[in-house]
Structure 1
């Protein structure tokens, strides 16, 4: 790593987890920050910022108002909701990039795990194990189920691949309709009709003003009795109060890697509702994550140093 760059070199801040990253371009000066320690250098000189890998926007944004020379921010997450709001406060134009595609396979893997765990009643059997009880029960099968994937991007496509051996009838939905190698992708305008025919609804869409509370009381009411809702997108895509009503009366079940609010408070009623499985936003957190993030950051910094356009640019 070219740590011996001249003092007047263009400043780059990287997260502490990437302190050992190799293959970075010369002509740049690198510093590392963990989000907790004092700033490692003057934020006013930073041109390229890779925030710490945390979900707390207050931590990520803390140095932003002092980054007067900032040109690019490379987020380590696929979702960048909220970060663009901060960048709009800065003078000049800052390019915001996400980690689109990096976490797709891991998140799809978790979506499949949540589906199988919910259908096969794994949480119920685990609680019985903890009590020392032996309680066999008939479970639902994923084989031949109808699955509606809402947000057919890289995560949705990766999940589609994983569902293939199960012979599922997959229906795909995105903001606009199109063709895909696996079949048609329907526009979101058809969602009220399509949701009624699904045994399992999986949310993989980005959080935008148009998808906030997309699954509100009206849309959830259209879901068929006994349907499973899986959310690996963002918690606010679902109206939490409306979902709680549906799961509390037993009409729907849910498997949630994301919630609104997040983290879900300890006493929140969703935590104790039968038929609800919750994981703490861990879709991306696998052993494959950091090598992929390293490849992304290395590639982006080489493009930045060469004056090339960056990949994964997000409009905000």
Structure 2
């Protein structure tokens, strides 16, 4: 992993936990398998604990790791470093994606509820007027009671969002082509086709994986089908939304948006997304921030402890599901 991640990921208690169940290689994190100290550690390693910045575990890296039996990823997606060579070797893989899903879902639910109350727009107008403000006249339909929220993707995050929204008086729709209707209803939401969901929802929130098939999943046509005044929330990946089309809708003032991810990752300085009053733009902060990283470290330590005890991982990654997961 990147060396700067290590001290933020593993606090003293988690380091002690790891030391109780494994012989832990001391020293800084390794971000280059060819570096002499890393190469020596790799040759002896049975388990690798990885995080952001891990280089690919390709054939060359695995040839230098003859004892490697498991990879425990203290973050979400393993796509960037777990290659086909890992699966060919029969190496077990675990991910803390479930733990990283928690803050993303919390951010999303906050965005959904703020969208219903029109918080951003009321804040802007109140700031401009600096005095008595009849917000009801501007937003007579504001509020969350019986609003419709469409969740795109019954992923780990999508499922957590549905769980957190359950106590509210909302109607929830969910689209996921890989889950059957019974499974989706068990999540407390009504299954819907993506076109129908976009057209019916007051808030559309995106939680699908980034795949070639999901590029611009929220297309120009689907954005155009959304209700006037509806809100799009994207905490997944920028490529899932046609950003040019979304920007046009936002500049026109027809839609609202909460955008935590964009394509490119940082919009150019002249992008209207920075200044529009109907846009909340954040720089990919929905996932685990500094104070939340120790949760990922503890999740990884728990999996190492399970491995040391001869038990299967609680959160395994399966090769057969990688073609439809983040």
- The interval holding the TM-score normalised by the smaller chain is 0.7 to 0.9
Counterpart check, 1:186 vs 2:191: yes
The aligned counterpart of 1:237 is 240
* Higher helix fraction (1 or 2): 2
RMSD: 3.5
Residue 15 of structure 1 deviates from its aligned partner by 2.6
Distance of aligned partners of 1:182 and 1:51 in 2 relative to their CA distance in 1, 3 Å threshold: closer
Q: Deviations over 1:234-254 (max 9, x none)?
A: 222112112112212222111
Q: Deviations over 1:190-248 (max 9, x none)?
A: 21122211111011222223322211212222222221001122222112112112212
Task: Tell me which of 132, 154, 157 is aligned to 2:156.
Answer: 154
TM-score, normalised to structure 1, is 0.77
CA contact (8 A) 1:81 1:207 kept: no
Task: Tell me which of 1, 23, 26 is aligned to 2:17.
Answer: 23
* Higher strand fraction (1 or 2): 1
Gaps of 5+ in 2: none
CA distance in 2 between counterparts of 1:237 and 1:81 reads 17
CA contact (8 A) 2:21 2:304 kept: no
CA contact (8 A) 1:212 1:237 kept: yes
Q: Deviations over 1:143-202 (max 9, x none)?
A: 210110111233223222332343111112223323243445637xx2112221111101
CA distance in 2 between counterparts of 1:275 and 1:141 reads 16
Gaps of 5+ in 1: 1-12
Aligned length: 295
Residue 300 of structure 1 deviates from its aligned partner by 1.9
Question: For 1:154-173, what aligned pairs fall within 5 Å after superposition?
Answer: 154-173=156-175
CA distance in 2 between counterparts of 1:295 and 1:155 reads 19
TM-score, normalised to structure 2, is 0.75
Question: For 1:1-316, what aligned pairs fall within 5 Å after superposition?
Answer: 15-17=6-8, 18=10, 20=12, 21=14, 22-24=16-18, 25-26=20-21, 28-31=23-26, 33=28, 41-43=37-39, 44-45=42-43, 46-52=45-51, 54=52, 59-61=53-55, 66=61, 68-69=64-65, 71-84=69-82, 87-88=83-84, 93=89, 95-124=92-121, 126=123, 133-134=130-131, 136=133, 137-138=135-136, 139=139, 140-175=142-177, 176-179=179-182, 180-183=185-188, 186=191, 190-285=193-288, 289-306=292-309, 308-310=311-313, 311-315=315-319, 316=322
